[in-house]
């Protein structure tokens, strides 16, 4: 049996759709973290609408959906003002953090901490704050629903 490791804290320079949020604030809830870029077609066409469906389908006191804008290319076109316009036009309602950059590093900090390969990346964190799944690319609703249902049942049994 593999020991599960704690999920690294994310590091956001600013937040949209709500106050700054730390992973520790969400202990007791299952967390679906979605790393995206606003100009990534797989994010805009598939993964972000899926996040919105998850955000609406599950009780928020049990499951938290968190977006993270992990910009690693087209930096000039995907700044905070552009992201704000994007979130407004698409009516996304879940909290979105802007992954922080170290000076001179094109890869943002949380993306490095999780060793993400690109966008979209979906990360599942259980109610005890442990990293349970990290998936690069598109995932279908059936598989994502099953993974979420499994972690929610575990949290219920533990609680």
Contact residues: a copy of itself, CB under 8 A = 39-41, 44-45, 53-54, 57-58, 74, 76-79, 81-82, 84-86, 89-90, 140-154, 157
**Which C-beta is closer to a copy of itself: that of 3 or that of 81?**
81
- H or E segment to which residue 59 belongs: none
Q: How far is the CB of 9 from a copy of itself (least distance, A)?
A: 26
Residue 75, classified by CB atoms within 10 Å of its CB into exposed (0-12), middle (13-18) or buried (19+), is exposed
Taking the complex as a whole, the smallest distance from the CB of residue 107 to a copy of itself amounts, in Å, to 17
Compare residues 23 and 84 and give the one whose CB is closer to a copy of itself: 84
Q: Using alpha carbons, select from 67, 62, 74 the residue that is nearest to residue 49.
A: 67
Q: Which is nearer to a copy of itself, 24 or 89 (CB)?
A: 89
CA separation for the pair 33, 119 (Å, rounded)? 12
Distance between CA atoms of residues 150 and 13, nearest Å: 32
**Could you give the CA distance from residue 104 to residue 146 in angstroms, rounded to a whole number?**
40
Q: Which is nearer to a copy of itself, 10 or 86 (CB)?
A: 86
What is the nearest approach in angstroms of a copy of itself to the Cβ of residue 66? 18
């Amino acid at each position: 049996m593999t020991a599960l490791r704690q999920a690294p804290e994310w590091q956001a320079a600013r937040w949209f759709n709500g106050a700054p949020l730390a992973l520790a604030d969400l202990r007791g809830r299952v967390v679906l973290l979605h790393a995206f870029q606003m100009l990534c077609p797989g994010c805009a066409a598939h993964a972000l609408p899926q996040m919105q469906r998850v955000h609406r389908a599950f009780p928020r006191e049990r499951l938290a959906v968190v977006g993270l804008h992990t910009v690693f290319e087209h930096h000039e076109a995907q700044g905070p003002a552009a992201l704000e316009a994007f979130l407004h036009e698409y009516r996304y309602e879940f909290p979105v953090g802007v992954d922080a950059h170290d000076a001179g590093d094109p890869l943002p900090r949380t993306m490095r901490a999780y060793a993400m390969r690109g966008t979209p990346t979906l990360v599942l964190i259980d109610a005890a704050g442990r990293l349970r799944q990290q998936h690069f690319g598109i995932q279908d609703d059936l598989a994502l629903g099953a993974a979420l249902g499994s972690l929610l049942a575990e949290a219920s049994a533990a609680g």
